[in-house]
């Protein structure tokens, strides 16, 4: 715990964001730099709660409650409060390979289950975590730690997102020779190309990759397993294979006008935008850029928010975000008690920016798209939308159109951000991997073994679209099971 009376004396003060009208002018990280004194004060708010739900990592209501990687949060909160920064970072690294990622992009289910949150705003756990790792790099405490001894075992990790990187990092620590295959031109998966720079600067990702290289991990980019290298060849060349390829099939919207110019999957915009930042430094030259356009984002999740923030930085003419679900309540509903994840209304960074630029939250709730409308040249010019209401039908709630609610809104760019359906098929088909009912790779949580001996799967490829912190959880756990398979015993946590 922190100071025994700290939660009574100090108010919640997370690391502040830069003013919205300033940050939309650039692609730099949205957060201000942390202030050590203020971080210590926030650590003081961690109370002696007896049972710290913040690090339980349970699933309640199909959502995370507490930290999925079981971060030792009360311990490093207390150490931060005492100014024992290096010790706090050591405790943080016990469970988290990449706190510089989760400290920036995790939605912080730990804070949703903080015991203080029952009566007061919760402890700023995410801010403290981010400050600890940033100070660690600034002070030179985070250095390459290659294993003292190498085993004779070789492991291939396919996919370099958070699950793949976590698995590779853990297996490398115990001395196995690790090769990570990535089909993109840079390592990082969604950390590199799925999450925009203002949420996670790419030098932060590259810094960790460089550290892992210095520790002996081999990274091979521009190689798609199943295309450049047959998946079956990995079974011959390596002692074990861990598949962490993600859930990259986007959910489509097959309605009239879907083939019009200007209708794109969200990841097309986000990926090409980051490529432009890294390569050309000119993100307004792409044919799907939002500059000067009326932009409509279909989908209300994190990817949709990232499209809003990206479009604003392109200086779009207007921005609208369509959400089929109802507007969440301002406070927890009786059906959403603590320590469940709080499903309440809040402005994420993109909506906050849109409100400042255009005067209001861009989200339109209980709204569905009926068709895309084009001009005589096959270009998108508008969307036909309608209001919906959720009605019970044979025990299930389904959306029903509100009669007379149809209307058109202008749009020259529509971005589909409605989630992902599962992993791509090529590797699974080639190896004959079993799939579950949602098309994910069949591999029991906790074992991560597929129906092919020596082949494991983890992350979104196994569990479906989820959080970065869950991917790290699965990568670490799959590494332990893989190590046990290779050695008969494992020292990995």
**Residues 377, 471 within the same domain:** no
Listed residues 111, 138, 165: the one ending a domain: 138
What pLDDT, on a 0 to 100 scale, did the predictor assign at position 282? 55
Its domain, for residue 336, covers 252-418
434 in any annotated domain: yes
Domain end marker among 138, 164, 189: 138
Q: What is the pLDDT of residue 64?
A: 86
| Same domain, residue pair 338 and 454 | no
Would you say residue 283 has pLDDT above 90? no
Q: How does pLDDT run across 13-45, given as a tens digit for each residue? A: 999 999 999 999 999 999 998 899 999 999 999
Distances (CA, A) of 222 to 195, 230, 250: 20, 14, 21
Task: Specify the pLDDT at position 14.
Answer: 94
Whether 462 has a pLDDT exceeding 80, the answer reads yes
Contact 471, 465 (CB under 8 A): no
In this structure, the answer to whether residues 259 and 235 fall within a common structural domain is no
| Mean pLDDT (whole number) for 106-112 | 96
* Local structure of 209: helix, strand or coil: helix
Tokens of 9: 């004396």
Query: Residue 102 — very low, low, confident or very high, per pLDDT cuts 50/70/90?
Result: very high
Is the predicted pLDDT of residue 323 greater than 70, yes or no? yes
Average pLDDT along the chain: 95
Look at residue 190 and tell me if it is in a domain: yes
- Looking at the predicted structure, is the pLDDT value of residue 247 above 60? yes
Degrees, nearest 5: CA angle 209-212-215: 155
pLDDT of residue 280: 66
Task: Decide if pLDDT at 288 tops 70.
Answer: no
Q: What is the CATH number of the domain that holds 184?
A: 3.50.50.60
Judgement on whether residues 385 and 427 belong to the same structural domain of the protein? no
Whether residue 7 is predicted with pLDDT greater than 70 in this model: the reply is yes
Looking at the fold, whether 324 and 349 belong to one and the same domain comes out as yes
Domain tally, the chain: 3
pLDDT digits (tens, 9 = 90+) for 229-244: 999 999 999 999 999 9
pLDDT confidence band for 50 (50 / 70 / 90): confident
User: Do 257 and 393 lie in a common domain?
Assistant: yes
Q: Each residue of 424-461: pLDDT tens digit?
A: 999 999 999 999 999 999 999 999 999 999 999 999 99
Please state whether the peptide bond connecting residue 191 to the residue before it is cis, i.e. omega within 30 degrees of 0: no
Q: Distances from the Cα of 244 to the Cαs of 140, 158, 173, 448, in angstroms?
A: 31, 6, 19, 11
Q: Residues 282, 258: one domain? A: yes
Give the residue from 338, 339, 345 showing the smallest Cα distance to 323.
Answer: 345
Count of beta carbons in the 10 Å neighbourhood of residue 439: 16
Q: DSSP string covering 74-143, please?
A: HHHHHHHHTT-HHHHHHHHHTT-S-HHHHHHH---HHHHT-GGGGTSPPP-HHHHHHHHHHHHHHTT---
What confidence score (pLDDT) does residue 279 get?
Answer: 82
Residue range 380-393: mean pLDDT, rounded: 96
Q: Are residues 325 and 386 located together in one domain of the fold?
A: yes
Residue 133 sits in the same domain as residue 177: no
For residues 136 and 140, what is the distance between their CA atoms, to the nearest angstrom? 6
The predicted pLDDT at position 61 comes to: 82
Phi, psi for 79 (deg, rounded to 5): -65, -40
Distance, CA of 374 to CA of 412 (rounded, Å): 9
pTM of the model: 0.95
Give CA separation, 321 vs 123, 284, 299, 351, 419, in Å.
31, 21, 7, 9, 14
Any domain includes 148: no
181-195 confidence digits (pLDDT tens): 999 999 999 999 999
Residue 176 domain-assigned (yes or no): yes
Tell me, what's the pLDDT at 216? 98
Looking at 418, 433, 461, the residue that finishes a domain is: 418
Residue 305 lies in a domain: yes
Q: What is the pLDDT of residue 473?
A: 97
Torsional sign, CA 419, 424, 425, 428? negative
The verdict on residue 45 lying in a domain is yes
Please give the pLDDT value at position 281: 57
| 175, 321: one domain | no
Whether residue 207 is found in the same domain as residue 275: no
Question: Could you tell me if 370 and 437 lie in one domain?
Answer: no
Structure tokens that stand for 78 in this block: 């207390």
Q: For residue 395, what pLDDT band results from cuts at 50, 70 and 90? A: confident
Q: Is residue 206 part of a domain?
A: yes
């Amino acid at each position: 715990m922190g100071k025994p009376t700290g939660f009574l004396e100090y108010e919640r003060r997370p690391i502040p964001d830069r003013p919205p009208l300033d940050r939309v002018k650039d692609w730099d990280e949205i957060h201000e730099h942390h202030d050590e004194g203020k971080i210590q004060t926030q650590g003081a708010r961690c109370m002696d709660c007896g049972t710290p739900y913040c690090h339980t990592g349970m699933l309640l209501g199909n959502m995370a409650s507490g930290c999925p990687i079981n971060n030792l949060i009360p311990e490093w909160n207390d150490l931060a409060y005492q100014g024992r920064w290096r010790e706090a970072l050591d405790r943080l690294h016990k469970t988290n390979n990449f706190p510089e990622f989760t400290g920036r992009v995790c939605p912080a289910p730990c804070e949703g289950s903080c015991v203080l949150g029952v009566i007061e705003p919760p402890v700023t756990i995410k801010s403290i975590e981010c400050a600890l790792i940033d100070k660690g790099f600034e002070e030179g405490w985070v250095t390459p730690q290659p294993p003292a001894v190498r085993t004779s075992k070789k492991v291939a990790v396919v996919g370099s997102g958070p699950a793949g990187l976590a698995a590779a990092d853990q297996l490398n620590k115990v001395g196995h020779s690790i090769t990570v295959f990535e089909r993109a031109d840079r390592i990082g998966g969604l950390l590199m190309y799925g999450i925009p720079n203002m949420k996670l600067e790419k030098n932060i990702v590259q810094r960790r990759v460089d550290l892992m290289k210095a520790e002996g991990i081999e990274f091979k980019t521009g190689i798609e397993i199943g295309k450049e290298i047959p998946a079956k060849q990995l079974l011959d060349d390596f002692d074990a294979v861990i598949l962490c390829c993600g859930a990259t099939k986007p959910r489509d919207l097959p309605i009239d006008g879907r083939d019009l110019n200007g209708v794109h999957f969200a990841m097309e915009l986000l990926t090409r935008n980051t490529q432009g930042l890294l390569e050309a430094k000119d993100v307004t030259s792409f044919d799907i850029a939002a500059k000067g356009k009326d932009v409509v984002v279909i989908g209300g999740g994190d990817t949709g928010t990232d499209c809003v923030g990206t479009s604003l930085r392109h200086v779009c003419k207007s921005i609208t975000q369509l959400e089929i679900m109802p507007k969440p309540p301002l406070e927890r509903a009786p059906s959403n008690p603590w320590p469940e994840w709080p499903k309440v209304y809040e402005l994420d960074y993109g909506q906050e920016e849109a409100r400042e630029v255009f005067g209001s939250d861009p989200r339109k709730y209980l709204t569905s798209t009926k068709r895309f409308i084009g001009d005589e040249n096959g270009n998108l010019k508008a969307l036909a939308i309608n209001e919906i209401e959720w009605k019970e039908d044979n025990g299930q709630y389904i959306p029903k159109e509100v009669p007379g609610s149809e209307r058109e809104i202008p749009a020259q760019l529509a971005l589909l951000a409605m989630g992902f359906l599962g992993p791509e098929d090529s590797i699974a088909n080639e190896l004959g991997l079993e799939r579950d009912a949602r098309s994910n790779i069949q591999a029991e949580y906790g074992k991560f073994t597929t129906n092919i001996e020596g082949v494991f799967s983890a992350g979104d490829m196994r569990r479906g679209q989820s959080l970065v912190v869950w991917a790290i959880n699965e990568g670490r756990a799959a590494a332990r099971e893989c190590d046990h398979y290779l050695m008969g015993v494992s020292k990995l946590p």
